Amino acid sequence: MNVDENRERRTQAERRAATRRALLDAARSVFAERGYHGAAAEEIVRRAGLTRGALYHHFEDKRDLFRAVVDEMEGEIDEKIEEAERAQSGLPEAVMAGYRVFLDAALNPEMRRTFFLDGPSVLGWEWHEIDARHAVGNIEEGLESLIAEGLMEPQPVRPLARLINGALLEAAFFVAASEDPEAARDEVWGAMERLLDGLMNRRSTA
């Protein structure tokens, strides 16, 4: 393959990436403003400066585009969790900071409507699979580290990670559905702290 062909392939890939990016950005704004059911494909492509053909070239339909937006949002939450964990000096504090970031995501208006409210209703169990793919493994790693450091009694990590993830999801749904999300976050986080502190302190108090 010559230099011109390589350049052409890179250019095509860059154009495809730019088109996909424009569709995702436009979709995020429309979904956040109007909700999934109120979001029209025509408005999404208009905001992206593209055609419906471009939309259906990159995504099967509006639901497929919505799925990609949700998956991207989950990845952004993951990045913020990792950043928060790195900022802590102790392992228990890092674990708790990561959990808090996930809960705080429900305060973001865009995340609140698209990810936490519309996501489960539109995607159903697939939404939970997306969340589990991102979250459960990270929770398991944190629990394994706590056990290795003697900060939690040895126990099966996999089911406990699922239980904690479920509790975090329900806490986030509680915040997202509240008329006063910040007050709801503070209230439910207090309960989460007591639950999680009890798990981490059980070994030392036994």
- Beta-carbon contacts of 141 under 8 Å, excluding residues fewer than 6 positions away, are none
| pLDDT beyond 70 at 1 | no
Distances (CA, A) of 197 to 12, 15, 76, 119: 52, 49, 26, 30
Contact assessment for residue 172 and residue 105, using Cβ atoms and an 8 Å cutoff: yes
Residue 103 tokens, joined: 């809960």
* CA distance linking residue 120 with residue 60, whole number of Å: 19
pTM of the predicted model as reported, rounded to 2 decimal places: 0.87
Number of residues that this document lists for the chain: 206
Q: Is the pLDDT of residue 5 over 70?
A: no
Tokens of 134: 């991102």
Q: For residue 123, what are its two tokens? A: 């995607």
pLDDT of residue 98 exceeding 80: yes
Lowest mean pLDDT among 21-25, 83-87, 126-130: 126-130
In tens, the pLDDT along 8-50 reads 666 888 899 999 999 999 999 999 999 999 999 999 999 999 9
Give phi and psi for 59, each to the nearest 5. Answer: -140, 150
pLDDT at residue 206 is higher than 50: no
Identity at 5, one-letter amino acid code: E
Average pLDDT of 126-143?
A: 93
The pLDDT value given to residue 188? 96
Q: Does residue 182 have a pLDDT over 90?
A: yes
**Angle separating helix axes 41-48 and 62-86, nearest 10 degrees:** 60
Q: Given this model, what pLDDT does residue 13 score?
A: 85
Q: Please, what is the average pLDDT of the chain?
A: 92
